[in-house]
Amino acid sequence: MSPEKNTAMRHATLKQIVYRLSAFAAIVAILTPFLNAISTRYVPGDSDGATPILEGLSILHGNYLLHGWSISLDSFWTLDSMFNAFMIKAVGFGPSLLTLVPSFIAALVIALAVLLAYKAENGLLGLVGPFIVLVCLALPSPDLSFFLLQGPWHVATTLYALLAFMILAKWRTWAGAAVASLILAIALLGDLLILDFGITAIIFAAIVAMLRERKFSAGAKTFLAGLLSMPLAICLRLIADALGTFEIVNRNLPLKLSQITSNIGFLANRIPAMFGVGSISSAPTNSDLPLEIGHIFMLILVATAVLYSMGNTIFCIFKGNSDKLDIKYWHLNDILMLGILADIVTYIVGATSNNTQYTKYLDPGVIFAVILTARVITSLLIHIFNNNNTSDSTVPTSEGGLNLAFSSLPKPSAPISSNDIYADFMTPAQPASFSNYDFFPGFGVQQTVVEPNLTPVYQDRLQISKPQMASIGHRARSYGNSDGQSGALHLKYYAETKGSRRSGFQAGSGVGRGHLKKATKSIPLFPVALLILVSLVITCIAGAVQVRNEMNLPTASQPVKGLISFLEAHHLDLGVGAYWVSSIVTVESKGEVTIRPVTNAAADKLRRYGRQSSLSWYQGKQFQFFIYNLYQPWRKVNTVSAEKTYGPPEKTLTYGPYEILIWPKPIEVSLVLPPIKNPLNLIFRN
């Protein structure tokens, strides 16, 4: 390829990168405040959401490895905590982070999903995928708002998984596999769940690719990227341990057959509710029947697309890839589809009770399903419209021109050269036009050489002149492929239409009046396309109305705000208490009132809470008071355990459901923690 063409290709590629990065940044900038406004209606915030903010604050103060912390396997150290550190630097430490950071992460996920769903080479039809993504995720139903827009509920983990998926599917090189493996390993350091819906999906998708293509190399890079991410994460953890990082504490996972069976049944409610059909009791709702009907259309599209992808993948495993589609397209679809299945298994096994908040485990699967649907529906519409635009017809050309017919041809296994031309002898004819079709520049006949130019720029017209045709005829005679038809040329070459359908054309020059024949049969799927587009419009209207209703809801109330004012009025600014009233007060008060979590130990005496806490919070500190919620019992952290630890209090204050105990002298907290047996302890129960 000439230097000029190389330069043009680099400029075109750079331009595409700039455009996509600009679009990504614009989507994030627009969606972050928009989603944050929705989030404030649903998310009052709690200590689970406050903990990664405090981790981020520690990182921002220079404790990058969270030395001295004790955290479980879902530490979110390399995930939400990093985003919190960034946001604290940008906007400051405070309660606004409880909704702003999850909204920012969700905006990043949606922007990446838009790019994964966009098909730039297909004009307006290529925008259908991003439209579906925005309708489903940027106009979320009440339940999806509740579970998507608060953290740390594995949405940042999903972001890392999508990055790895994209690299493995589209950047199919060893360097790309190494980068994807590193991303997965970094995510694994912060959240073990990526092992389920990320790494497991990638490994199985690699095996599927090998089976579909009937060769090991088709999935080798993907397989090794997923497999090696686990030892790489272990190595990174060992390095962090040597430098001084947080301690991983015990996490019990009780597995009970009856609960697993119940969780399978819950899917019939949980999944539709995430798309606005029905509701989950833990999320505030503001929906009525007309809005649910609109959401039903999208739920049907999503379910159909996922089931179709599953069926198509199973078919191709047994029959092979007969359609010869580019692996960069279907490999990503397979990873997404397997990620959905893995995530459903995560929910079925990981939800250890009937608590509806375990629906958070379905966040990744819902996001994957939306992206997969966007890609499948876009491809279907492109297929429908292209087939209808290439129905049988005859387009006159000049006298003695070329008789052309498009037909499905195998995808070339190697770069196309002049050797791919076969032709019979011919006589000179009038110039003929390849019109009404869009080819890559360079997909023409230039003397005796045909070159593909794989830049995503199209031209509408391609002409073959008399000298070029005569040159082809000369080469044809040298091949000795004459079929005895005087004055006939049969030219076969590969091209690719705007619809991304790999195809080819055959051309013949005759002595009569030439014509251009579009040979692909029209298929009666236009009503299907119309139904899909109408469904999308209805769903968009329903989503817009739903969001308008959500904006009319009051901001979610945070009960600890009044408690903070009460404590400040009594000059109480440093205490200990039950987990659910500790870290949230610290964040809501911007650190003006600090409460550290404690839990019961042997003989019901209080000690440092060994999970989601830092040693520096307790070491050398003396506390003024103890607090807990009378109506939210937690681990026997109450008046009984407080008196067993510190004796009878001098004063007891009550504010709403909160009871506050004060002793004559400041109190200290025991730093002794139980030994760590196993970071993940599986408990099997009948």
Q: List C-alpha distances in Å: 141 to 38, 89, 147, 294, 534.
A: 10, 31, 10, 11, 19
pLDDT score of 167 more than 80:
yes
Of 54-68, 119-133, 499-513, 557-571, the poorest mean pLDDT is in 499-513
Q: How many CB atoms are closer than 10 A to CB 538?
A: 17
pLDDT score of 431 more than 90:
no
Of 265-274, 482-491, 667-676, the poorest mean pLDDT is in 482-491
Of 152-166, 441-455, 671-685, the poorest mean pLDDT is in 441-455
pLDDT in tens, 636-680: 999 999 999 999 999 999 999 999 999 999 999 999 888 777 777
Q: How many CB atoms are closer than 10 A to CB 465?
A: 12
Between 319 and 385, where is the model more confident? 319
Q: What is the pLDDT of residue 525?
A: 61
Q: What is the mean pLDDT of residues 303-323?
A: 87
Q: What is the pLDDT of residue 207?
A: 95
* H or E segment and range at residue 249: none
Name 150's Cβ contacts closer than 8 Å, sequence gap at least 6: 39, 42, 43, 45, 49, 98, 99, 102
Cα separation, 253 vs 349, in Å, equals 9
Is the Cβ–Cβ distance between 495 and 443 less than 8 Å?
Answer: yes
Confidence of residue 429 (pLDDT cuts 50, 70, 90): very low
Of 47-56, 355-364, 428-437, 637-646, the poorest mean pLDDT is in 428-437
Between 683 and 339, where is the model more confident? 339
Q: What is the mean pLDDT of residues 324-345?
A: 89
* Whether residue 33 has a cis bond before it, omega within 30° of 0: no
Between 618 and 399, where is the model more confident? 618
Burial of 307 (0-12, 13-18, 19+ CB in 10 A): exposed
Confidence of residue 686 (pLDDT cuts 50, 70, 90): low
Confidence of residue 93 (pLDDT cuts 50, 70, 90): very high
Is the Cβ–Cβ distance between 514 and 401 less than 8 Å?
Answer: yes
Q: What is the mean pLDDT of residues 400-405?
A: 32
pLDDT score of 550 more than 90:
no
Q: What is the pLDDT of residue 291?
A: 72
pLDDT score of 370 more than 80:
yes
Q: What is the mean pLDDT of residues 227-250?
A: 93
Q: What is the pLDDT of residue 408?
A: 32
Of 164-173, 290-299, 577-586, the poorest mean pLDDT is in 290-299
pLDDT score of 409 more than 70:
no
| Residue in the block written with tokens 């990055």 | 163
Confidence of residue 323 (pLDDT cuts 50, 70, 90): low
Q: What is the mean pLDDT of residues 404-417?
A: 36
pLDDT in tens, 514-527: 333 333 344 456 67
Strands 513-517 and 394-399: antiparallel
Confidence of residue 278 (pLDDT cuts 50, 70, 90): confident
Name 189's Cβ contacts closer than 8 Å, sequence gap at least 6: 75, 77, 78, 233, 236, 237, 240
Q: What is the mean pLDDT of residues 231-256?
A: 89
Between 541 and 108, where is the model more confident? 108
Determine the 3-state secondary structure of 215 from DSSP: coil
Between 286 and 473, where is the model more confident? 286
Residue 192 is which amino acid? Answer: L
The chain-wide mean pLDDT, for the chain, equals 78
Confidence of residue 285 (pLDDT cuts 50, 70, 90): low
Report the percentage of the chain scoring pLDDT > 70: 76
* H or E segment and range at residue 490: strand 490-496
Strongest mean pLDDT among 189-198, 295-304, 669-678: 189-198
